[in-house]
Structures are given as C-alpha cells and as structure tokens.
Amino acid sequence: MLDAEVAIVGAGAAGLSLAHRLSRTAPDSRAPSVVLVDAPPGPMRPPRRTWCYWEAGAGRFDAAVTATWRHLRVRPPAGPALDGDIAPLRYKMIRSDDFERLVDHDLAAAPAVRRLEATVEAVEDVSGGALVHVRDGDGRTRALRARWVFDSRPPGSLPAARTTLLQHFHGWFVRTARPVFDGRTADLMDFRTPQPADGLSFGYVLPVGRRDALVEYTEFSRRPLTADGYESAMRQYTEEVLRLGELRILSTETGVIPMTDAAIPRQVGASVFRIGAAGGATRPSTGYTFAGIQRQTGAVAAALRRGRTPVPPPAHSARSRAMDAVLLRALDSGRADGPALFSHLFAHVPMRRLLRFLDGRTRLHEDLAIGLHAPIGPMLRSALDLPTLPRRPFDGP
C-alpha cells in the first residue's frame, strides 16, 4: 500500500500541469505529497501533440515553447486574407515532448512528487480518500491510497448532449526545398480547403522558420476521416492551395477533440475529480484546451494550499458555454455557413478582442457587440431550438 496526499492519474497536459503546480510552493509553505501515475509505453499513453494558446508577456512554460507569433492570419474561401496584430498577446506553440522535458526537469528537483509507471485499473472511493488500483509492468497489482485523486484519462464515452461535433485533424511537420513560409505570421484558419457536405474544414499553418512549419488539415464534423482521407486532404492542401513544392515530412500528428454542449462532470466521487479535457477544459466552440487546463489546475493547486476541497472549477463560464451551445447547434443543423461565419467575425472584430472572446475574457457588452456580427437569424433560431432538444448519447467513435 502506497500513500500520498494527492494522486494524479495520467501524465498528459493536465496531469503534468497539476504536478508542476503542486511541486512549486511558497518558501514558507509545504508541498503536498504527490504520486503521478503514468501509463507504460503503448496505446494507453497520450500520443505526441502540439498545443497552442495565447497570452500576454512571459508565461509559465515559455522554456518549452517552440515558436510564438504576434501576427495571425485568417483566409476566407475567396478574397483577400485577414491579418491581425494581437499585441500584447502572443500566440504560442508547445510540442508535448518539450513540455514533458521541462516538467520532468522541474519535478526532479521536487522530492514531494514521485512518478509511478503503471496501468490504472480502477479508482475507488473509500472512507477518508480514494484507492487507485494499478498494475505494473510485471503484472503485479498494488493499491495507492490518496486523500485526493485527479483523473485526466479520457472517459470511455461522452455524456449525453444536444449537439456533439468532432474536431478531427491530421498534420505534418514539413521542411520545404525552398523558403516559402513567413515566420512572423501564423495562419489560424484557412478556408480555401474543399468544404465537406456536413460541417466545415480549414487549414492551419504554424511556421517555425522560412522552410519549416506545422501544416494541418482540420474538420468540424460528426465523423473522422480514414487514414487515406487525411492523406488526400493534406496532399491537396499543401500542393494545390499552399503550393509548397517539394517537401519532406519530418513527423505527423493526428487527433480527435469532442466539441459538445454536454454537462461534463468534474467530481465523480467524494475524493475523486476529473481534470483536463476529461473535466471539461476544452472550449466547445474551438477545441482549444491548454489555457483551460492552466486555469483549472491553478485553481486546484490554490485550493489545496488553502486546505479547501479541491473541486476543479469550470474552465469556461456559463455564458461562454451557452454561446458555444448555440454555435454548435447552428453549425450542426446547417443553418450557419461555418467558413462565412468565422471569416465575417475576423473581418469585423479586432483580432485581439476576438481572441479574448474565444478565451472567455470579454464582458457581456463585448459579447453582445461581437454577436451582432454573427448571422442573427440562424443563431436566434438555434438558440430557440435548444430548450426543446433532448440530450442523447453520442453514437460516434
């Protein structure tokens, strides 16, 4: 029987972020004892990922940041590109390998945090805490007893929702034969991609040099593509839209992010909580998760330091979630043309303000002003629809 005040299940962005915050305390305070349980190498371990977010000034994880941009660009289906200077914000990209190395380095100097490589088989509420039942690489089973457990593993199924779309993507880190990228500007959404019959698609270009960039194809729809489908979409985007010419694929990444108006539980036992995407940190309208994880884990760490019950707070406000529910319904019903909607917003709202809106940091009057640039009829009909729609389990993958 092992013991700790805090057990963190999963060493993805959420688990590592919480462990990092709990390892650092004020000089006059004591760090709680923490065990971070990471799955053995294999399918249970999170795949390599790239996370993006925006913030002003220096950030907590800047040492792991691959690149930053002050200028962002959105390309409508036709017509001139929309460029924006987001200063004092910076759009930042972190690769998961670099993030893990930074956190590992800091945790190595934190004796209160231990790492355990094992498969978690069950988490059980018990009197005064919880048990995490694990199996190590040799097949031995053990139980880790902790006062609080924070589980970041993806749930087996999504909660019932009125609308659930998937943001699914496939990306290449490429190196081109000639200098074709503008390293000062990131393409946030490029709607010159062929649009699917249902949902929307766009490209995404994050340059890290004149010849190096992450290029991705993304869809918002109900079903992911096949491997051949993603390959075809990427070939079409890089060859026919971007016209990159000869290139070499250095690495790839593929992912699926649920975009749902489901009520995602953050407390699943007296001492057991969910964090990260499993705890609702993903913004339903955009799929961005990293910033929500930082808000959530920061609040948990603060509650533990103060001796309070560390229930993870909602990563996004009730108003933001309500607006997202309307947008998801408008997109899923086909009432709103996604590329036209997003292009119009970026054309008429200053980009810095729109990023603050997407991060849930605007005030009510700003939200209303931004809403006037959305297609009012389709959005209003979608809002009126919502109270009548049943919540159904998601029947997709």
The arithmetic mean of pLDDT across residues 196-205, rounded, is 94
Residue 368 CA to its chain's centroid (Å) = 25
* pLDDT beyond 70 at 27: no
Coil, strand or helix at 356:
helix
Tokens of 326: 């309307």
Q: Which helix (H) or strand (E) holds 249?
A: strand 247-260
Per-residue pLDDT tens for 7-17? 999 999 999 99
Structure confidence at residue 24 as a pLDDT band (50, 70, 90) = confident
Contacts of 157 (CB under 8 A, 6+ apart): 393, 394
Strand partners, 314: none
Q: Which helix (H) or strand (E) holds 276?
A: none
Per-residue pLDDT tens for 239-270? 999 999 999 999 999 999 999 999 999 999 99
Per-residue pLDDT tens for 278-316? 999 999 999 999 999 999 999 999 999 999 999 999 999
| pLDDT at site 341 | 96
Burial class (CB in 10 A: 0-12, 13-18, 19+), 79: exposed
Tokens of 341: 């909607």
Q: Are 103 and 20 in contact (CB under 8 A)?
A: yes
Q: State the Cα–Cα distance between residues 377 and 205, nearest whole angstrom.
A: 32
Q: Are 123 and 130 in contact (CB under 8 A)?
A: yes
| pLDDT at site 1 | 58
Handedness of CA 192, 194, 199, 204 (dihedral sign): negative
CA-only gyration radius of the chain, Å: 22
Average pLDDT over the chain, rounded to an integer: 94
Per-residue pLDDT tens for 33-74? 999 999 998 888 888 899 999 999 999 999 999 999 999 999
Per-residue pLDDT tens for 78-109? 999 999 999 999 999 999 999 999 999 999 99
The DSSP secondary-structure symbol of 386 reads G
| C-beta neighbour count of 50 within 10 angstroms | 20
Cα–Cα nearest to 330, from 157, 203, 189, 200: 200
Q: Are 246 and 177 in contact (CB under 8 A)?
A: yes
Q: Are 15 and 41 in contact (CB under 8 A)?
A: no
| pLDDT at site 2 | 65
Provide the whole-model pTM.
Answer: 0.94
Helix axes 290-305, 13-23, angle to 10 degrees: 30
Tokens of 142: 């053990």
Structure confidence at residue 137 as a pLDDT band (50, 70, 90) = confident
* pLDDT beyond 80 at 29: no
How much of the chain, in percent, has pLDDT values that exceed 90? Answer: 89
Kind of pairing, strands 141-151 and 2-9? parallel
Per-residue pLDDT tens for 378-397? 999 999 999 999 999 988 76
**For the residues of 163-175, what is the DSSP string, one character each?**
-EEEEEEEEEEEE
